[in-house]
Amino acid sequence: MGDRVAQPRDIGYLLEPGGCLRGRLRVPGDKSISHRAIMLAAIADGDTEISGFLEGADALATLTAFRRMGVRIEGPTGGEVRVAGVGMHGLSAPEEPLDMGNSGTSMRLLAGLLCGQSFPVTLIGDASLSKRPMRRVTEPLARMGARIETTATGTAPLELSPVSRLRGIDYVLPVASAQVKSSLLLAGLYAEGETCVTEPAPTRDHTERMLTAFGHPVRRQGSRICLTGGGRLSGCRLQVPADISSAAFFLVGATLASGSDVTLEGVGMNPTRIGVINILRAMGADIELIERPNAGGEPVADLRVRHAPLRGIRIPVDQVPLAIDELPVILIAAACAEGETLLTGAEELRVKESDRIQVMADGLGRLGVEARPRPDGMWIRGMPDGLLARHDSDQIPVIHAHGDHRIAMSFAMAALRAGTPIEIRDCANVETSFPGFVTLAAAAGLRIRETGA
């Protein structure tokens, strides 16, 4: 691939109503794990072989960034990547800013990993990423001694300048965030002394697990995670499991559509990521877990899901951080459930690729669903008889995804319970996390086709 992150073209989806989902499916590799695998492999001593790597735009932005910093990377070819690690201090200065595209994970984690390097570097992103808040990362990194300049509003570009040293800190996260936690731990690799992060609620722990796989000790005491700087990482073999965030769309779709029976193969079952399963089961979903051997230190299972009627619930607040990326499609499930669903404690959705609370409420409203946004969530009255089941207008409802991949895929699954075709616009960024989504979904039974401008 070339050095530049490809800019997505303007595409949309047109969905015919009804149908069901059937078959054995393998969704792409886990995006969060793919990012971290490239980052740690690059600064390890020796080669790392990665299988199951997600070949989507976000993960490729991370891969391209390390190529620009002098790391030799072969692939990806069919999910296989070989990284020739340069060691903790072997990265070199890129000739131009590193373009993170639409990837907030890339930008926030690299801010931590690169703030202790001996060279300046600038991190840039697309229009959407350039609006997302970065002070949640840059401010605690500054307490470690990092020098990072942002815009006046605390957004990208991030301009990192070299410093004489970083120092470990003991930081209590004000809001549960795996990205902030991971950024500080990666900076802690280059800091003097111990870096500790305390989280108010459990978040995904892929960074801690992967650091251990690369031979760097990480200590956890309850909600407090610590590591000591000055160590080294050793190259290894890593297998990336299928992404539970991508599997979630098919979990919901198969649950909603009568006659569905889908098995999702080799899905990562990290206990900090299974909130979507816990929430859907509480709503009445029929999801069976068939355990498989661990992959790269991560628990894995096949998931069999069949149609089941759902009931509205008050989504447990302790499950929200464990399902933060899957909440948009969970709201689609709520829209088709019997009774009311209340989501609270999810203010983080306001600062994702879009304001996911408002965008979901707007889209559900166009499908005839009574959905009331709240500052930290949403109230929904479900329509168990179907969305727009008695639609008598000649106009097809149009959903605006606002360039947010999870919004686009979530509303695609809503068509399984709709009484009318649905058009979804601004879907190009689906390729950032789920390349081949339309092809796989259509093969499983979703009546979807891509449209282009």
Catalytic annotation, pick one of 126, 205, 325, 426: 325
Beta bridge partners of 314: 342
CA angle, 367 then 23 then 428, to 5°: 50
325 is catalytic: yes
| Helix, strand, coil abundance in the chain, percent, nearest 5 | 30, 30, 40
- Taking alpha carbons only, the member of 319, 313, 382 closest to residue 345 is 319
Phi-psi region of 10 (alpha: psi -120 to 50; beta: other; left: phi over 0): beta
Q: Collect all residues with Cβ–Cβ distance below 8 Å to 77 and sequence separation of at least 6.
A: none
**How many Cβ atoms from other residues are within 10 Å of residue 452's Cβ?**
8
The whole-angstrom separation of Cα 241 and Cα 333 is 25
Q: Residue for token digits 């570097």?
A: 121
The whole-angstrom separation of Cα 117 and Cα 225 is 23
- Look at the chain and count its residues: 453
- Can you tell me whether residue 169 is helix, strand or coil? coil
The whole-angstrom separation of Cα 102 and Cα 159 is 18
Query: 75 exposed, middle or buried (CB, 10 Å; 0-12, 13-18, 19+)?
Result: middle
Catalytic residues: 325
